[in-house]
Amino acid sequence: MKSLILPVFLLLVSSIHLYAQDDLLGLLGEEETTDYTTASFKTNRVINLHSLENTAGGVLDFKISHRFGTLNGGFYELFGLDNASIRLGLDYGVTDRLTVGVGRSSFQKAYDGFVKYKFLRQSTGKRNMPITAALLLTSAIQTLKWENPDRDNHFSSRLYYTTQLIIGRKFSESFTLQLSPTMVHRNLVKTNAEKNDVYALGAAGRIKLSKRIALNAEYIYLLPNQVADGINNSLSAGFDIETGGHVFQLHFTNSTSMIEKGFITETTNSWSNGGIHFGFNVSRVFTVKRRGDN
Protein backbone atom coordinates (compact mmCIF):
# COMPACT_ATOMS: atom_id res chain seq x y z
CA MET A 1 0.00 0.00 0.00
CA LYS A 2 2.78 2.43 0.94
CA SER A 3 4.57 1.71 -2.34
CA LEU A 4 1.73 3.49 -4.18
CA ILE A 5 2.31 6.77 -2.35
CA LEU A 6 5.56 7.72 -4.17
CA PRO A 7 4.30 7.30 -7.76
CA VAL A 8 1.08 9.14 -6.97
CA PHE A 9 3.10 11.96 -5.35
CA LEU A 10 5.36 12.21 -8.41
CA LEU A 11 2.32 12.38 -10.71
CA LEU A 12 0.87 15.20 -8.64
CA VAL A 13 4.17 17.13 -8.71
CA SER A 14 4.45 16.71 -12.47
CA SER A 15 0.91 17.98 -12.94
CA ILE A 16 1.71 21.13 -10.92
CA HIS A 17 4.70 21.73 -13.21
CA LEU A 18 2.44 21.37 -16.26
CA TYR A 19 -0.05 23.83 -14.79
CA ALA A 20 2.75 26.37 -14.41
CA GLN A 21 3.65 25.93 -18.09
CA ASP A 22 0.02 26.46 -19.04
CA ASP A 23 -0.13 29.71 -17.07
CA LEU A 24 2.97 30.96 -18.92
CA LEU A 25 1.36 30.19 -22.27
CA GLY A 26 -1.66 32.19 -21.15
CA LEU A 27 0.54 35.20 -20.41
CA LEU A 28 1.98 34.92 -23.91
CA GLY A 29 -1.52 35.14 -25.32
CA GLU A 30 -1.84 31.53 -26.44
CA GLU A 31 -5.27 30.44 -25.27
CA GLU A 32 -5.89 26.74 -24.76
CA THR A 33 -8.86 24.69 -23.68
CA THR A 34 -8.92 21.72 -21.32
CA ASP A 35 -10.03 18.39 -22.76
CA TYR A 36 -11.12 15.92 -20.08
CA THR A 37 -10.90 12.21 -20.76
CA THR A 38 -14.26 10.42 -20.83
CA ALA A 39 -15.55 6.86 -21.21
CA SER A 40 -12.66 5.11 -19.51
CA PHE A 41 -15.24 2.39 -18.78
CA LYS A 42 -18.81 2.07 -20.02
CA THR A 43 -20.31 2.35 -16.51
CA ASN A 44 -19.22 3.24 -12.99
CA ARG A 45 -18.48 -0.44 -12.30
CA VAL A 46 -15.84 -2.65 -13.88
CA ILE A 47 -17.57 -5.85 -12.75
CA ASN A 48 -17.64 -5.86 -8.95
CA LEU A 49 -15.15 -3.03 -8.44
CA HIS A 50 -16.07 0.60 -8.89
CA SER A 51 -14.48 2.02 -12.04
CA LEU A 52 -12.89 5.41 -12.77
CA GLU A 53 -16.25 6.65 -14.07
CA ASN A 54 -18.95 8.47 -12.12
CA THR A 55 -22.64 8.76 -12.84
CA ALA A 56 -23.17 12.07 -14.67
CA GLY A 57 -24.62 14.96 -12.69
CA GLY A 58 -28.43 14.87 -12.53
CA VAL A 59 -28.60 11.26 -13.74
CA LEU A 60 -30.10 8.32 -11.83
CA ASP A 61 -28.58 4.91 -12.62
CA PHE A 62 -30.75 1.90 -11.76
CA LYS A 63 -28.65 -1.26 -11.50
CA ILE A 64 -29.75 -4.89 -11.40
CA SER A 65 -26.88 -7.23 -10.52
CA HIS A 66 -27.33 -11.00 -10.69
CA ARG A 67 -25.06 -13.93 -9.80
CA PHE A 68 -26.18 -17.47 -10.55
CA GLY A 69 -24.86 -20.52 -8.67
CA THR A 70 -21.48 -22.04 -9.49
CA LEU A 71 -20.76 -24.01 -12.64
CA ASN A 72 -19.49 -27.00 -10.64
CA GLY A 73 -23.07 -27.67 -9.55
CA GLY A 74 -23.27 -29.64 -12.77
CA PHE A 75 -26.34 -30.55 -14.78
CA TYR A 76 -28.38 -31.26 -11.62
CA GLU A 77 -28.16 -27.54 -10.75
CA LEU A 78 -28.20 -26.61 -14.47
CA PHE A 79 -24.64 -25.35 -13.99
CA GLY A 80 -25.75 -22.79 -11.43
CA LEU A 81 -28.89 -21.48 -13.12
CA ASP A 82 -31.14 -23.04 -10.45
CA ASN A 83 -29.74 -20.69 -7.82
CA ALA A 84 -29.09 -16.97 -7.80
CA SER A 85 -28.38 -13.93 -5.67
CA ILE A 86 -29.35 -10.41 -6.66
CA ARG A 87 -28.57 -6.80 -5.80
CA LEU A 88 -30.79 -3.85 -6.69
CA GLY A 89 -29.10 -0.46 -6.60
CA LEU A 90 -29.68 3.23 -7.27
CA ASP A 91 -26.71 5.49 -8.07
CA TYR A 92 -27.21 9.25 -8.44
CA GLY A 93 -24.85 11.84 -9.84
CA VAL A 94 -25.01 14.85 -7.52
CA THR A 95 -22.43 16.43 -9.84
CA ASP A 96 -20.20 15.00 -12.55
CA ARG A 97 -17.58 14.38 -9.85
CA LEU A 98 -19.75 13.29 -6.91
CA THR A 99 -21.90 10.14 -6.94
CA VAL A 100 -23.94 8.63 -4.12
CA GLY A 101 -25.71 5.28 -4.09
CA VAL A 102 -27.68 2.72 -2.11
CA GLY A 103 -28.46 -0.94 -2.65
CA ARG A 104 -29.94 -4.10 -1.22
CA SER A 105 -28.54 -7.61 -1.75
CA SER A 106 -30.26 -10.94 -1.22
CA PHE A 107 -26.87 -12.39 -0.17
CA GLN A 108 -26.75 -12.01 3.63
CA LYS A 109 -29.78 -9.66 3.25
CA ALA A 110 -27.33 -6.77 3.15
CA TYR A 111 -28.03 -3.06 2.68
CA ASP A 112 -25.22 -0.82 1.46
CA GLY A 113 -24.50 2.80 0.63
CA PHE A 114 -21.57 4.70 -0.85
CA VAL A 115 -20.13 8.11 -1.65
CA LYS A 116 -17.64 8.46 -4.51
CA TYR A 117 -15.75 11.67 -5.31
CA LYS A 118 -13.47 12.13 -8.31
CA PHE A 119 -10.80 14.60 -7.18
CA LEU A 120 -8.49 14.32 -10.22
CA ARG A 121 -9.55 14.06 -13.86
CA GLN A 122 -7.28 12.95 -16.67
CA SER A 123 -7.00 15.82 -19.12
CA THR A 124 -4.91 17.48 -21.83
CA GLY A 125 -4.65 21.02 -23.13
CA LYS A 126 -4.77 23.95 -20.71
CA ARG A 127 -4.67 21.57 -17.76
CA ASN A 128 -2.63 18.42 -18.20
CA MET A 129 -3.33 15.62 -15.76
CA PRO A 130 -2.02 12.13 -16.59
CA ILE A 131 -4.41 10.20 -14.31
CA THR A 132 -7.92 10.07 -12.92
CA ALA A 133 -8.30 9.51 -9.18
CA ALA A 134 -11.35 9.05 -6.97
CA LEU A 135 -12.09 8.30 -3.32
CA LEU A 136 -14.78 5.73 -2.51
CA LEU A 137 -16.35 5.36 0.95
CA THR A 138 -18.91 2.60 1.54
CA SER A 139 -20.82 1.16 4.46
CA ALA A 140 -22.89 -2.02 4.70
CA ILE A 141 -25.09 -3.82 7.17
CA GLN A 142 -26.02 -7.50 7.00
CA THR A 143 -29.41 -8.31 8.48
CA LEU A 144 -29.36 -12.09 8.82
CA LYS A 145 -30.90 -13.51 11.97
CA TRP A 146 -28.38 -14.00 14.74
CA GLU A 147 -26.81 -17.48 14.76
CA ASN A 148 -27.12 -17.51 18.54
CA PRO A 149 -29.95 -15.16 19.58
CA ASP A 150 -29.53 -16.02 23.27
CA ARG A 151 -26.11 -14.40 23.59
CA ASP A 152 -25.45 -10.67 23.96
CA ASN A 153 -25.58 -9.55 20.30
CA HIS A 154 -24.74 -5.97 19.33
CA PHE A 155 -26.11 -4.00 16.39
CA SER A 156 -22.61 -2.69 15.65
CA SER A 157 -21.48 -6.26 14.94
CA ARG A 158 -23.50 -6.13 11.72
CA LEU A 159 -21.61 -3.13 10.28
CA TYR A 160 -18.81 -2.97 7.70
CA TYR A 161 -16.93 -0.04 6.17
CA THR A 162 -14.70 0.30 3.13
CA THR A 163 -12.23 2.99 2.09
CA GLN A 164 -10.86 2.76 -1.43
CA LEU A 165 -8.64 4.92 -3.62
CA ILE A 166 -9.20 4.46 -7.36
CA ILE A 167 -6.30 5.54 -9.58
CA GLY A 168 -6.14 4.93 -13.30
CA ARG A 169 -5.49 6.10 -16.81
CA LYS A 170 -7.11 5.74 -20.20
CA PHE A 171 -4.01 5.04 -22.27
CA SER A 172 -5.85 5.01 -25.61
CA GLU A 173 -9.37 4.76 -27.01
CA SER A 174 -9.07 1.00 -26.61
CA PHE A 175 -7.21 0.47 -23.32
CA THR A 176 -7.80 1.57 -19.72
CA LEU A 177 -6.05 0.40 -16.54
CA GLN A 178 -6.76 1.19 -12.89
CA LEU A 179 -5.52 0.26 -9.41
CA SER A 180 -7.69 0.22 -6.29
CA PRO A 181 -5.86 0.08 -2.93
CA THR A 182 -8.54 -0.82 -0.38
CA MET A 183 -9.17 -1.20 3.34
CA VAL A 184 -12.25 -3.06 4.58
CA HIS A 185 -13.14 -2.71 8.27
CA ARG A 186 -15.25 -5.43 9.90
CA ASN A 187 -16.62 -4.64 13.34
CA LEU A 188 -16.92 -8.35 14.18
CA VAL A 189 -14.79 -11.26 12.99
CA LYS A 190 -15.36 -14.95 13.73
CA THR A 191 -11.90 -15.86 15.08
CA ASN A 192 -8.98 -14.14 16.77
CA ALA A 193 -6.79 -15.08 13.81
CA GLU A 194 -8.75 -12.77 11.51
CA LYS A 195 -8.11 -9.03 11.27
CA ASN A 196 -10.81 -6.42 11.68
CA ASP A 197 -9.02 -4.27 9.08
CA VAL A 198 -8.33 -6.07 5.81
CA TYR A 199 -6.01 -4.53 3.20
CA ALA A 200 -6.21 -5.43 -0.48
CA LEU A 201 -5.10 -4.17 -3.87
CA GLY A 202 -7.47 -4.37 -6.81
CA ALA A 203 -6.41 -4.13 -10.44
CA ALA A 204 -8.78 -3.79 -13.38
CA GLY A 205 -8.63 -3.12 -17.08
CA ARG A 206 -10.75 -2.62 -20.16
CA ILE A 207 -10.05 -3.41 -23.81
CA LYS A 208 -12.50 -1.86 -26.26
CA LEU A 209 -13.39 -4.37 -28.98
CA SER A 210 -15.88 -2.26 -30.93
CA LYS A 211 -17.98 0.87 -30.51
CA ARG A 212 -20.46 -0.96 -28.27
CA ILE A 213 -18.53 -3.95 -26.87
CA ALA A 214 -15.62 -4.04 -24.39
CA LEU A 215 -13.73 -6.77 -22.53
CA ASN A 216 -13.30 -6.13 -18.78
CA ALA A 217 -11.27 -7.98 -16.15
CA GLU A 218 -10.45 -7.41 -12.48
CA TYR A 219 -8.39 -9.10 -9.77
CA ILE A 220 -8.27 -8.32 -6.05
CA TYR A 221 -5.18 -9.38 -4.12
CA LEU A 222 -5.57 -9.84 -0.36
CA LEU A 223 -2.48 -9.13 1.69
CA PRO A 224 -1.44 -12.27 3.63
CA ASN A 225 -2.62 -13.39 7.09
CA GLN A 226 -5.71 -11.20 7.38
CA VAL A 227 -8.68 -13.47 6.72
CA ALA A 228 -9.72 -17.00 7.61
CA ASP A 229 -8.44 -20.04 5.73
CA GLY A 230 -10.47 -20.80 2.65
CA ILE A 231 -10.92 -17.19 1.54
CA ASN A 232 -9.67 -16.61 -2.02
CA ASN A 233 -8.75 -13.61 -4.12
CA SER A 234 -11.60 -12.40 -6.31
CA LEU A 235 -11.11 -12.82 -10.08
CA SER A 236 -13.71 -11.71 -12.65
CA ALA A 237 -13.85 -11.27 -16.41
CA GLY A 238 -16.57 -10.47 -18.90
CA PHE A 239 -18.03 -8.26 -21.61
CA ASP A 240 -19.83 -4.91 -21.60
CA ILE A 241 -22.49 -4.50 -24.29
CA GLU A 242 -24.03 -1.05 -24.79
CA THR A 243 -27.53 -0.84 -26.32
CA GLY A 244 -29.05 2.62 -26.26
CA GLY A 245 -29.86 3.61 -22.67
CA HIS A 246 -28.79 0.23 -21.29
CA VAL A 247 -25.40 -1.31 -20.59
CA PHE A 248 -25.35 -5.10 -20.16
CA GLN A 249 -22.34 -6.56 -18.36
CA LEU A 250 -22.03 -10.34 -18.80
CA HIS A 251 -19.27 -11.97 -16.78
CA PHE A 252 -17.80 -14.88 -14.86
CA THR A 253 -16.58 -14.47 -11.27
CA ASN A 254 -15.69 -16.59 -8.25
CA SER A 255 -17.36 -14.05 -5.92
CA THR A 256 -20.96 -14.39 -4.77
CA SER A 257 -21.34 -11.02 -3.05
CA MET A 258 -21.60 -7.81 -5.06
CA ILE A 259 -20.52 -5.34 -2.37
CA GLU A 260 -17.00 -4.59 -1.17
CA LYS A 261 -17.09 -6.26 2.24
CA GLY A 262 -18.26 -9.46 0.52
CA PHE A 263 -16.32 -9.89 -2.71
CA ILE A 264 -13.08 -8.65 -1.14
CA THR A 265 -13.11 -10.51 2.20
CA GLU A 266 -15.63 -13.37 1.78
CA THR A 267 -14.89 -15.05 -1.58
CA THR A 268 -14.76 -18.79 -0.85
CA ASN A 269 -15.01 -20.17 -4.39
CA SER A 270 -12.09 -20.92 -6.69
CA TRP A 271 -11.72 -20.90 -10.46
CA SER A 272 -9.52 -24.00 -10.23
CA ASN A 273 -12.38 -26.29 -9.17
CA GLY A 274 -15.20 -24.73 -11.15
CA GLY A 275 -16.44 -22.47 -8.36
CA ILE A 276 -17.40 -19.85 -10.93
CA HIS A 277 -20.61 -17.84 -11.10
CA PHE A 278 -22.06 -16.66 -14.37
CA GLY A 279 -23.68 -13.29 -13.79
CA PHE A 280 -24.68 -9.97 -15.20
CA ASN A 281 -25.15 -6.31 -14.33
CA VAL A 282 -27.79 -4.27 -16.14
CA SER A 283 -27.55 -0.49 -15.97
CA ARG A 284 -30.40 1.82 -17.01
CA VAL A 285 -29.97 5.57 -16.68
CA PHE A 286 -32.64 8.25 -16.28
CA THR A 287 -32.06 12.00 -16.53
CA VAL A 288 -33.61 13.48 -13.38
CA LYS A 289 -32.21 16.99 -13.64
CA ARG A 290 -31.03 18.46 -16.92
CA ARG A 291 -28.04 20.78 -17.02
CA GLY A 292 -29.11 24.33 -16.49
CA ASP A 293 -32.32 23.38 -14.62
CA ASN A 294 -32.89 25.13 -11.31
**What are 256-290's pLDDT values in tens digits?**
999 999 999 999 999 999 999 999 999 988 988 87
Please tell me the predicted confidence (pLDDT) of residue 213: 94
Could you report the per-residue pLDDT of 147-197, keeping only the tens digit for each?
777 788 888 889 999 999 999 999 999 999 999 999 999 998 888 888 999
* The pLDDT of residue 99 is above 70: yes
* The pLDDT of residue 30 is above 90: no
| Burial class of 52 by CB neighbour count within 10 A (0 to 12, 13 to 18, 19+) | buried
Weakest-pLDDT range from 54-63, 123-132, 188-197: 188-197
Please tell me the predicted confidence (pLDDT) of residue 28: 52
pTM: 0.84
Quickly list H helices, the chain: 5-27, 260-265
Q: Is residue 234 within 8 Å of 253, Cβ to Cβ?
A: yes
Higher pLDDT, 46 or 192: 46
Neighbouring CB atoms inside 10 A of 284's CB total 13
Please tell me the predicted confidence (pLDDT) of residue 205: 97
Please state whether 274 falls in left (phi above 0), alpha (psi between -120 and 50) or beta.
left
Domain 2-287 belongs in CATH node 2.40.50.140:
no
What residue spans define the domains of the chain?
2-287
The DSSP-derived string for 119-188 is EE--EEESS-BS-EEEEEEEEEEE-PPPSSTTS---GGGGEEEEEEEEEEEE-SSSEEEEEEEEEEEES-
**Spacing of C-alpha 111 from chain mean position:** 16
